[in-house]
Amino acid sequence: METTKKVTWSIDPAHSEVQFKVKHLVISTVTGQFTSFSGGLETGGEGFENAKAFFEADVDSISTNNKDRDEHLKSEEFFDAANHPKVTFVSTAFKKTGEDTYEITGDMTMRGKTRAVVLKAEHGGIMVDPYGNTKAGFEVTGKLNRKDFGLEWNGVTETGGIVVGDEVKLLLNLQYAKN
């Protein structure tokens, strides 16, 4: 009986980005990112179906191109970075849904609350870089409700409108290096 060789991959942070988008005043969108993150994949062979994915981002690395807003997001009113310094994700299922597409189900933890989320992933392919390293690319997207994770703060405008939308869109462009 042939045993399957485990293959591990690590996120290459120099060639990856982790962004989120949320509505502001219901009329426009603010984009933010985490600039410090890590993660990887473990597969049972060369393919990615049934892989185990894991990820963590440092809350202190949040950037929306506005220092005051970033500090507010790190405060107790949002992420509470002092008590909850990481956002984490650990997959529970990694299912192939098409030729180059996957559905990744897993547990996301923010602000001490863990909830199941479903993400979509598009595999961009595998290449060997000029230095002989094997790389794989994925674009991962998803949506979540920030209030499910205890990020409850909101303001109300003079006309009764909300300041921050509840739905957060996730967009991760991840390049992995084969270990």
Is 174 domain-assigned? yes
Distance CA 47, CA 95 (A): 11
Instruction: Provide the domain count of the chain.
Output: 1
pLDDT in tens, 77-128: 889 999 999 999 999 999 999 999 999 999 999 999 999 999 999 999 999 9
Is 2 domain-assigned? no
Is 1 domain-assigned? no
- Contact between 96 and 104 (Cβ < 8 Å): no
Q: Output the CA torsion 171→173→177→179 (10° steps).
A: 10
**Domain limits for position 60:** 7-178
DSSP secondary structure letter of residue 74? H
Q: What is the CATH number of the domain that holds 98?
A: 2.40.128.110
Kindly tell me if the per-residue pLDDT of 160 is higher than 60.
no
Model pTM?
Answer: 0.90
